[in-house]
């Protein structure tokens, strides 16, 4: 059942639809139900948006490599970029208790990724770049 597809996309917002389509097809092929497929799509879209905005920013251009791999347990999506490195442990948890008008804008991306996936890990290597692996189980609830 192990099968994978890898595509490379320009790190621009216009690529998000194509990346999402790749993930949706892979989720269906991996046997994820509609809720699990939607959750991993949303998590990948949020991660890619963060790559575009924070890893590459306005001053850099580059690509996002997206690999979707079906496993006996579910789907692994690996995102690789060569932008600025990132440590998810350095991001404080978002303030979800204050009224909206008192909160800082943004800062929920990593929170959503944690909530929408069953597991994820991040690695940085100067040669390999940033590698984010997201996992969604086939039978998991969102």
The per-residue pLDDT for range 30-88, each reduced to its tens digit, is 999 999 999 999 999 999 999 999 899 888 899 999 999 999 999 999 999 999 987 77
Mean pLDDT over 90-96 rounds to 71
**Residue that is written with structure tokens 């350095």 in the block:** 90
Q: Which domains does the chain have, with CATH numbers?
A: 3-137 (3.30.565.10)
| Cβ atoms of residues 80 and 125 within 8 Å | no
**Residue that is written with structure tokens 């347990």 in the block:** 73
Structure tokens at 44: 């990948």
Among left, alpha and beta (phi > 0; psi -120 to 50; other), residue 44 is: alpha
pTM for the model stands at 0.88
Mean pLDDT over 18-32 rounds to 97
pLDDT at 134 exceeding the cut of 60: yes
| Cβ atoms of residues 70 and 30 within 8 Å | yes
**How far apart, in whole angstroms, are the C-alpha atoms of residue 66 and residue 44?**
9
**How far is C-alpha 108 from the geometric centre of its chain's CA atoms?**
13
The 10 Å Cβ neighbour count of residue 58 is 6
pLDDT at 13 exceeding the cut of 90: yes
Per-position DSSP letters for 50-83, written without gaps between them: HIIIIIITTT---EEEEEEEE-SSEEEEEEEE-S
Comparison of pLDDT for 82 and 98, the residue scoring more: 82
Confidence band for 2, pLDDT divided at 50, 70 and 90: low
pLDDT at 142 exceeding the cut of 80: no
**How far apart, in whole angstroms, are the C-alpha atoms of residue 83 and residue 58?**
11
């Amino acid at each position: 059942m192990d099968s994978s597809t890898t595509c490379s996309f320009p790190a621009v917002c216009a690529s998000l639809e194509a990346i999402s389509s790749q993930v949706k097809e892979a989720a269906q092929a991996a046997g994820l139900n509609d809720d699990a497929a939607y959750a991993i799509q949303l998590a990948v879209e949020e991660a890619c948006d963060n790559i575009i905005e924070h890893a590459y920013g306005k001053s850099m251009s580059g690509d996002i490599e997206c690999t979707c791999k079906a496993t006996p347990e579910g789907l692994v999506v690996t995102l690789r970029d060569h932008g600025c490195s990132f440590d998810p442990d350095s991001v404080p948890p978002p303030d979800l208790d204050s009224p909206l008008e008192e909160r800082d804008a943004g800062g929920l991306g990593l929170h959503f990724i944690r909530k929408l996936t069953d597991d994820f890990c991040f690695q940085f290597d100067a040669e390999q770049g940033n590698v984010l692996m997201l996992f969604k189980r086939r039978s998991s609830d969102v």
